[in-house]
Amino acid sequence: MELLRARGAEAISVPVMELELLLTDAELEKLGERIVAGAWDDLVFTSANAVRLALPARGLGNQAARIFAIGPGTAAAVARRGWEVEPLPLSFVAESLAESLLQAGMSGRRVLLPRAAGARPVLPDALARAGAELHRVDLYRMVPDHSSRPALESALADPQLDCILFASGSSVRCFQALCQGRAVAASVLVACIGPITADAAEEAGLHPQLVADEHSLTGLLRALEMRLGPVPENGPRHELS
């Protein structure tokens, strides 16, 4: 939102999904205690939400576990907790992260993968093939935020709406659930942060016209500017995210 507004866009934020916890506070606290105690050799995070829920702030002392993050947003969340992150994968998708993990060596290592329920099986499958001792924990799931339906309907009805930005497959699925079959105007550009999100959009019948090469919010904005031109030169644009 702030990146868009800083460039002069009129950004409309509609929170189409909300996080539903699958663990109790006591279970999350216990998980954090085990991380600090060194129960795992490697921690693998695929979302900033998983970091915020599972990773406690690091105290004094050495960091024994290696921490892998899928992209810069997730890595930044880890850094804010005071932990160090391994080098990021070449592209910020599960397939590229899996390749990085295999290159780092996983055989016989105790690996914690805290994540959203229903996430793709790419990482667990890769870790199993590599001989890791995997502990997968489903922390949360994303569900449609039904209180946002009026705001979403209003935004989609705006004739000045230029673009819809999707930053995850979950946001696409929740968007579609709230739309209840309402079609997006053909004049509206559908832009996605990466190929997995684009696949979800295609399955939902949204037919994305723009997919960022760098799978990050900055990369999505750069791709949008390359497609539409700098916002101040082309007039204010209404963008739904």
Above pLDDT 90, what percent of the chain?
Answer: 69
Give the model confidence (pLDDT) of 176-186 as tens digits.
999 987 888 88
Above pLDDT 70, what percent of the chain?
Answer: 90
Q: How many CA atoms lie within 13 A of 28 on its CB side?
A: 17
For the record, the structure tokens of 151 come out as 């705001």
User: Average pLDDT, stretch 73-90?
Assistant: 94
82 pLDDT above the threshold of 70: yes
Least confident of 58-62, 136-140, 167-171: 58-62
50 pLDDT above the threshold of 60: yes
DSSP conformational letter for 160? T
Can you tell me the distance from the alpha carbon of 40 to that of 54, in angstroms, rounded to the nearest whole number?
Answer: 13
Ordered domains of the chain (ranges, CATH):
2-16+145-240 (3.40.50.10090), 20-142 (3.40.50.10090)
pLDDT value of residue 124: 95
User: Average pLDDT, stretch 212-227?
Assistant: 82
165 pLDDT above the threshold of 70: yes
Can you tell me the distance from the alpha carbon of 193 to that of 210, in angstroms, rounded to the nearest whole number?
Answer: 9
User: Average pLDDT, stretch 126-148?
Assistant: 96
Give the DSSP per-residue string, 138-155: EEEEEEE-GGGHHHHHHH
92 pLDDT above the threshold of 90: no
Instruction: Decide: 11 and 90 in contact? Cβ < 8 Å.
Output: no
pLDDT value of residue 85: 96
User: Average pLDDT, stretch 63-83?
Assistant: 95
pTM, to two decimals: 0.83
123 pLDDT above the threshold of 60: yes
65 pLDDT above the threshold of 50: yes
Instruction: Decide: 81 and 43 in contact? Cβ < 8 Å.
Output: no
Q: Tell me how far apart the 2 most distant CA atoms of the chain are, in Å.
A: 57
